[in-house]
Amino acid sequence: MLAAVGVACEGSLGSQVIVCTDGESGEGIGAHGEQDVYDRIGEYASSKGATVHIVTFKGTQCNIDAISRVAEMTNGDVERVDADNIGDNFKNFLAK
């Protein structure tokens, strides 16, 4: 997420990022319960005028409380999609 937000923030004002995640940080930033990292990512994206949308997958153990903060802080959306119908789910999500 951090890398994607960093790239988007280098673009023009109003850039958008769609982060697809299972919500589990396997290693690195946020892996050890460092919840405040998501607040810092959200603050940075917001300060650069970027919007972060979060897409998670139904049936996963997603830590949505932590990662959704980024979307909230940047006026982004949080969407849970069905992996079996991912094409339709993304089509609907992108249409928003």
- pLDDT, tens digit (0-9, with 9 covering 90-100), for 8-31: 888 778 888 988 887 665 555 655
- pLDDT, tens digit (0-9, with 9 covering 90-100), for 39-72: 999 999 999 999 999 888 877 766 777 788 899 9
- Assess contact for 76 and 95: CB atoms under 8 A: no
CATH architecture for residues 14-95: 3-Layer(aba) Sandwich (3.40)
pLDDT band at residue 79 using 50, 70 and 90 as cut-offs? confident
User: How far is Cα 57 from Cα 86, in angstroms, rounded to an integer?
Assistant: 9
DSSP 43: H
Of 23 and 7, more confident: 7
Rounded to two decimals, what is the model's pTM? 0.79
